[in-house]
Structure 1
Amino acid sequence: MKEIKVPELAESITEGTIAEWLVKKGDQVEKGDPILELETDKVNVEVNADASGVISELLKEEGDDVEVGDVIAKVDENGEAGSSDDSSDQEDTEEQKEEPKQEEKEEKESPKQEEKQEKPSQDSSSSNQQKDVIATPAARKRARELGIDLSEISARDPLGRIRPEDVDAAASGESKKEEKKEAPKKEKKQDKSSEKTEFDKPVERVKMSRRRQTIAKRLVEVQQEAAMLTTFNEVDMTNVMNLRKERKETFQDKHDVKLGFMSFFTKAVVGALKEFPLLNAEIQGNEIVQKKFYDIGMAVSTDEGLVVPVVRDADRLSFAGIEKGIMDVATKARNKELQLEDLQGGSFTITNGGIFGSMLSTPILNSPQVGILGLHNIEKRPKVMPDDTIQARPMMYIALSYDHRIVDGKEAVQFLRRIKEMIEDPYDLLLEG
């Protein structure tokens, strides 16, 4: 018998929740086959069988929390699929074959046994009574399964022989009696529970997923540990929108990907990070670690919660490369195909609430990063132009949340203004990004 344990997942992951069993007891598995899906703090991972054989036992259920090293299942390396079911079928057929012989014997012995039943001794045990009862082997087996005393079952057979249908009838009768007895108790319990609840109206309680618990925990930790502050600005999107409109068809034909706004802002972020490197750093103890790479996290909303996969080396990518990278990680996130390496090592994050219609918000830092840029909806608003005329322009509010422990307000404001300048002048963006 081989035990299957929760394997080592990653340095930062020591536990998870069983999201779904992919096998059931009696299934044949080969070494390396996925047997369950495990939900961790970051991604869902598959746990594979480390031996070939038949699943003999599942020790944990869906929804159970498990830790690395816990035994979750057992594999019989010498077993055959469905062997347990086959053996039970064989027992049934053997009992059926023996049943006629048993019935003949019982018919001959019935007079003696009836006499014994008429004069039972007061000192006899319940087990002896069970043996004295006339019943077919199939009925005895059925009674054992249902936990019913054969001596309390009345037989319909003229000879007093108890058959399986007599056991089932007795079981259904007992269940109805129990239901009648328990119904008033249940009603009373429900009444008491409704009196104690803090809500006067119906509610539904749903256990938080492990990922949602982790998100909640880390967001609170960031607010407690970081000196988080947010600065705002607004961007005139006219030039970028015109450029995108002119080039989007040729861009898609050439690169097989759409030209979106995220690639423009990613390029602008990289250019601004080069000018203000403290926003591309993190704090470790008493040291500031300035990163010389530009791995940009892209916040993606999924059914299980927010995840932040990373587009690597964004400073080395073209607009097409960035768009493909964003599309790739977003698709993986929504299809639950993200790997741990897709989420680790980001240096700065961009979150786009504008796709949901957000006008203005304060993004929360993605620890241990010290900066996050929030994008919002594009709306036409009146803007005073250099010649004092007022025009309706497509405007976007942008927000920069930063850790004031290492980033001063001056740097944060200048960083955000630099992004504004590059977005409003896409040619400058091409040079600086």
Structure 2
Amino acid sequence: MAAQVVVPQLGESVVEARVARWLKKEGEAIAVGDPLVELETEKIDLEVNADQAGVLAKILRQEGEDVKVGEQLALIEAGTGAAAAPASAQSDAPAHATPAPPEAITPAVAAAPAGAADGPRSTPAARKAAEMHQVDMAQVQGSGNAGRVMRRDVEAAATQAAPASPAAPAPAAARSAPAPVAPPRPAIAPGSRTEERVRMSKRRLTIARNLVEAQRTAAMLTTFNEVDMTELMGLRERRKEQFAKRHGVGIGIASFFVKAAVAALKAFPRLNAEIQGEEMVLKHYYDVGIAVGAEQGLVVPVIRSAEQLSFAGIELAIRDFAARAKSNTLTLEDLKGGSFTITNGGVFGSLLSTPILNPPQVGILGLHKIEDRPVAIKGQVVVRPMMYLALSYDHRIVDGLEAVQFLVKVKEYIEDPGHLLLES
């Protein structure tokens, strides 16, 4: 009797996935624990493994199809076909199949998808990029976790493989001819103006839906301030070597802002709440989400109970999130929940922006690029490293006065980090 391969439980609130890639072919021998298929969800990508040995008898859902939790993906026959044949006797076709004439086999070989199970492991985005740039995935060196090929690897390979050709020298007659007064419009070669339709990933669709929903349902406003980073940067410079030796991690600015945000949330608790029906749920714990740019879109892993962590604990958590977002190994548990979010567009060069709420949260703090600017201090114009801060909030439960005072409190803690250290 054939065993069913079904869509597993995908985590909190995730009920649907997309079949990204089959890692085994019909008729191929399967061992217990072998990865069979890669599923793409709105939050992470995951592999479904075989629960029993045998042969992959039939694939029921094809790549690109959307599936729900519990639906059948494939059938595994125990102890038949290729599983029972010695390795030397196995061919490209299943061992139990009647040999087909060459003309019947050729189309099947030609239709084999790029990046099949015997090629290097790669992300769905990398495979799409390989198709677009016509790059052989087998020749690409992966930089992801366990050699996984990422989109950036494919794009780098495409750039190296297609150097710009030097322009041919113009004929002598053309060089001596006078330039026309009004050059003719360039001729458009047939097929040169192309368009491409790219199906959005489950994660990108979810990001799009959540952002629109946040703007539709919340009374979102943003207040701004600026902070002088002189004292904080001086403290980091004085303590960075000692901190790294003691804790094995460098000290960045993010841990200071997490600490400052937690202290300010304690003073203004409605920014650490959410709305449920006609009630406000005030949270007396501080699960701070840190927005991280990943290959397939922004993700927000959560630092649990940030109020209980040291500066080193926060730095280690942030470094771990960044590494696992890059290698696409974040889990659903990493992304679940959160009571407040911090996003730092400054690492990408953003000088000022308006962050969008991360529902059901009612507050998000945006950090930006540190830039030397002239400022007036005690009647004197001096140049200081300045950063713009932005706080977006849900005006349904957070008043403008609270929002402004919250941001002022964060500014005070950052400009006097010694006071922040005493508070924590």
TM over 0.5, shorter chain: yes
Residue 245 of structure 2, aligned match among 237, 248, 253: 253
Q: Distance in 1 between matches of 2:210 and 2:394?
A: 15
| Structure 1 or 2: more helix by fraction | 1
2:27 is matched with 26
Could you tell me how far 1:50 is from its partner in structure 2?
2.7
1:432 is matched with 423
CA contact (8 A) 1:272 1:418 kept: yes
* One-letter amino acid of the counterpart of residue 262, structure 1: A
Please give the TM-score of this superposition, normalised by the length of structure 1.
0.73
CA 1:34/1:143 → structure 2, altered by over 3 Å: closer, same or farther?
Answer: closer
Q: Distance in 1 between matches of 2:104 and 2:255?
A: 70
Q: Distance in 2 between matches of 1:395 and 1:359?
A: 10
Q: 1:52-91 counterparts in 2 under 5 A? A: 52-81=53-82, 85-88=94-97
* One-letter amino acid of the counterpart of residue 314, structure 1: A
Q: Distance in 1 between matches of 2:81 and 2:206?
A: 41
1:49 is matched with 50
1:393 is matched with 384
CA 1:331/1:144 → structure 2, altered by over 3 Å: closer, same or farther?
Answer: closer
Could you tell me how far 1:9 is from its partner in structure 2?
1.8
2:11 is matched with 10
Q: Using the aligned pairs only, state the percent identity.
A: 57
Q: Confirm whether residue 350 of structure 1 aligns to residue 342 of structure 2.
A: yes
Q: Distance in 1 between matches of 2:102 and 2:38?
A: 37
Could you tell me how far 1:200 is from its partner in structure 2?
10
Name which one, 1 or 2, has greater alpha-carbon Rg: 1
Residue 226 of structure 1, aligned match among 218, 230, 235: 218
- 1:334-390 deviations in whole A, cap 9, x for unaligned? 11111111011201000000000000000000000000000000001111112x111
Q: Distance in 1 between matches of 2:298 and 2:60?
A: 31
Q: Distance in 2 between matches of 1:279 and 1:376?
A: 20
Could you tell me how far 1:329 is from its partner in structure 2?
1.4
Q: Which runs of 5+ in 2 are unaligned?
A: 86-92, 108-190
Cα-Cα RMSD: 2.1
Q: Distance in 2 between matches of 1:145 and 1:35?
A: 24
* One-letter amino acid of the counterpart of residue 398, structure 1: L
Structure 2 residue matching 1:17: 3-state secondary structure: strand
Structure 2 residue matching 1:81: 3-state secondary structure: helix
2:395 is matched with 404
* One-letter amino acid of the counterpart of residue 218, structure 2: A
- 1:168-200 deviations in whole A, cap 9, x for unaligned? xxxxxxxxxxxxxxxxxxxxxxxxxxxxxxx99
Q: 1:321-336 counterparts in 2 under 5 A? A: 321-336=313-328
1:414 is matched with 405
- 1:35-69 deviations in whole A, cap 9, x for unaligned? 12211111112222232211112222222211112
Q: 1:247-286 counterparts in 2 under 5 A? A: 247-286=239-278
CA contact (8 A) 1:211 1:305 kept: yes
Q: Distance in 2 between matches of 1:369 and 1:57?
A: 44
Q: 1:40-189 counterparts in 2 under 5 A? A: 40-81=41-82, 85-88=94-97
Q: Distance in 1 between matches of 2:313 and 2:104?
A: 68
CA contact (8 A) 1:268 1:432 kept: no
Structure 2 residue matching 1:214: 3-state secondary structure: helix
Residue 209 of structure 1, aligned match among 194, 201, 215: 201
CA contact (8 A) 1:237 1:396 kept: yes
Structure 1 residue matching 2:94: 3-state secondary structure: helix
CA 1:144/1:321 → structure 2, altered by over 3 Å: closer, same or farther?
Answer: closer
1:129 is matched with none
Could you tell me how far 1:34 is from its partner in structure 2?
2.5
CA 1:392/1:142 → structure 2, altered by over 3 Å: closer, same or farther?
Answer: closer
CA contact (8 A) 2:54 2:78 kept: yes
1:302 is matched with 294
CA 1:402/1:200 → structure 2, altered by over 3 Å: closer, same or farther?
Answer: farther
Paired residues, number: 332
Q: Distance in 2 between matches of 1:333 and 1:145?
A: 41
- 1:237-281 deviations in whole A, cap 9, x for unaligned? 000000111111111111111100000100000100010000000
Structure 1 residue matching 2:42: 3-state secondary structure: coil
Q: Distance in 1 between matches of 2:244 and 2:411?
A: 26
Structure 2 residue matching 1:203: 3-state secondary structure: coil
Q: Distance in 2 between matches of 1:383 and 1:221?
A: 39
Structure 2 residue matching 1:86: 3-state secondary structure: coil
Q: Distance in 1 between matches of 2:319 and 2:398?
A: 31
CA 1:144/1:236 → structure 2, altered by over 3 Å: closer, same or farther?
Answer: closer
1:134 is matched with none
Residue 361 of structure 2, aligned match among 344, 356, 369: 369
Could you tell me how far 1:395 is from its partner in structure 2?
0.2
Q: Distance in 1 between matches of 2:104 and 2:50?
A: 35
Q: Distance in 2 between matches of 1:313 and 1:144?
A: 61
Could you tell me how far 1:407 is from its partner in structure 2?
0.2
Structure 2 residue matching 1:358: 3-state secondary structure: coil
